[in-house]
Structure 1
């Protein structure tokens, strides 16, 4: 199955300034085509220290440590301006069988949140 991937689609105004700690406010609409090719910043979060592998595997399973190693480059870009979606949709004309989606994304330990359309 091939996917159409749309990265960094804003769903609300950045929660900064007077919008900080407030409910999300609808984002501004855009005109024309919007390129959705880059992952947006993630919301600020404290990342676990995995520099010392021996200590890290005492605090978490090996699989989680391996997943964190793959994800850390994406998690390094943090900002309060983080209200974006990454959308994955089957290429037009391809199967949308739910069992196939489940097996592909959840059993393969796909590390992103999937939004089904």
Structure 2
């Protein structure tokens, strides 16, 4: 089984999503319920989706291209929105380990959003 660029990107997305959920677990705060629901829903939801997609690639039964592009664009939007909301909430708070975890989580979410966008572009081009 040859490893393609798309399968590497899928596993990178899964790894970044796992990192986001790990940091989120260690820095969860329920101060703003809307931000908490968006970030938790995005991280947990895409863990489930990415595990399913990774299993499909490992078992050599990938999903339809259109569905893949749909999940990638939704993932890009949700991860960037989650990261932006976290940055907006904690950029002016006092410095400390908790703030650093929040901003690190936000940065990882935005990076993952960018990887999802690259994935959508490559899938659309048929690579």
**TM-score bracket for this pair, using the shorter chain length:** under 0.3
> TM-score, normalising length from structure 2?
0.25
Q: Which entry has the higher C-alpha Rg, 1 or 2?
A: 1
> TM-score, normalising length from structure 1?
0.27
Q: Which has the higher strand share?
A: 1
